[in-house]
Structure 1
Amino acid sequence: MAELDLGSVRAFVAVADNRHFGEAAAQLGITQQAVSKRIAKLESTVGSVLLSRLRAGTGLSRAGEMFLPHARTLLATADHALAVLTGRDRPLRVDVLDTRLAAAELVRDFYEAADEPDIDVVTSTGLRAARTALKTGKVDAAFARLTGSLVEDGLRSIPAHLEPAQVLVGTGHPLAGRDEVSMAELAGATAWMPGNAPDTEWTDFWDAVSAAFGVRIDSTGPNFGYEHFVGGIARSTDRIGFIGEQCRVPDHPGVVRLAVAPPRPTYPWSLLWHPDNEHALLPELVEHIRSGFRAHHVDGAWLPEADRAAFLA
Structure 2
Amino acid sequence: MRTFVRAADRGQLQHAADELGVTQQAVSKRVAALERELGVRLFTRTTRGVELTLDGQAFLPHARGIVAAVDRAVGAVRPGARARRIDVLGRRSAQAVVLHDHWRSRPGTALDVVTLRVDDPRVAAAAVRAGEVDAAFRTVTDPAALPPEVRMVHAFDSPLELLVGPRHPLAAARTLRPHELRGWRIWVPGIAPGSEWGEFYDQLATAFDLNVDATGPHFGDEVLLDVLADSADVATLVGARDRYVWPAGHDLRRIPIADPTLAYPISLLLPRTNPHPGLRAILDHLAGLPAPPEPAWRPSWATPQPGAGHRRR
Amino acid at match of 1:292: G
Q: Distance in 2 between matches of 1:306 and 1:212?
A: 14
CA deviation after TM superposition for structure 1 residue 217, in Å: 1.2
1:272 to 262, 269, 274: 269
1:250 CA displacement: 2.3
Q: Normalized against structure 2, the TM-score is what?
A: 0.67
**1:172/1:288 CA distance change after superposition, 3 Å:** closer
Structure 1 position 298 matched with structure 2 position 289: no
Shift of residue 309, structure 1, vs aligned partner: 5.1
Instruction: Tell me by how many angstroms 1:183 deviates.
Output: 1.1
* TM norm structure 1: 0.67
In structure 1, the partner of 2:156 is 161
Q: 1:226 touches 1:250 (CA, 8 Å); kept in 2?
A: no
Aligned to 1:136: 130
C-alpha contact (below 8 Å) 1:156/1:272 kept by paired residues? yes
Tell me if 1:251 matches 2:243: no
Is residue 162–residue 257 contact of structure 2 (8 Å, CA) maintained in 1? yes
How many residue pairs get aligned? The number is 230
Residue equivalent to 2:109: 117
Query: Shift of the alpha carbon at 1:284?
Result: 2.6
Question: Aligned match of 2:219 in 197, 213, 224?
Answer: 224
Distance 1:84-1:129 versus aligned 2 partners, 3 A rule: farther
Kindly tell me: are residues 133 and 83 of structure 1, through their superposed partners in 2, closer, same or farther at Cα, counting changes over 3 Å?
A: farther
Q: CA deviation at 1:112?
A: 2.5
> Do the aligned partners of 1:141 and 1:273 also contact (CA within 8 Å) in 2?
yes
Separation (CA, whole Å) in 2 of partners of 1:186 and 1:215: 7
Identity of aligned residues (%): 33
Contact 2:154 2:304 in 1 (8 A): no
Equivalent in 250, 257, 260 of residue 260 of structure 1: 257
Match of 2:279 among 258, 264, 282: 282
Secondary structure of the residue that 1:306 maps to in structure 2? coil
Cα gap change, 1:85 to 1:277, in 2 (>3 Å): farther
CA distance in 2, matches of 1:222, 1:280: 40
Would the aligned equivalents of 2:152 and 2:268 in 1 still touch at CA under 8 Å?
Answer: yes
**Aligned partners of 2:97 and 2:243 also within 8 Å:** no
Closer/same/farther in 2, CA of residues 233 and 111 from structure 1, 3 Å limit: same
- Would you say the 8 A contact 1:84–1:277 is kept in 2? no
| Structure exhibiting the larger radius of gyration computed from Cα positions | 2
Q: Is the 8 A contact 1:140 1:277 kept in 2?
A: no
1:116-136 deviation per Cα after TM superposition (whole angstroms, max 9, x unaligned): 311100012242331121011
- Change in 2 beyond 3 A, CA 1:294/1:259: closer
Q: Between 107-116 and 84-93, report the one with greater CA deviation.
A: 84-93
Please report the RMSD computed on the Cα atoms of aligned residues, expressed in angstroms.
Answer: 2.5
* Alpha-carbon separation, structure 1, partners of 2:245 and 2:210: 24
Preserved contact between residue 160 and residue 293 of structure 1 (Cα < 8 Å): no
Matched residue, 1:237: 232
Q: Distance in 1 between matches of 2:284 and 2:100?
A: 15
| Structure 1 unaligned residues grouped into runs of 5+ | 1-81
Q: Give the drift of 1:141.
A: 0.9
- Mapping of residues 10-29 of structure 1, within 5 Å: none
* Structure 2: gaps spanning 5 or more residues: 1-73
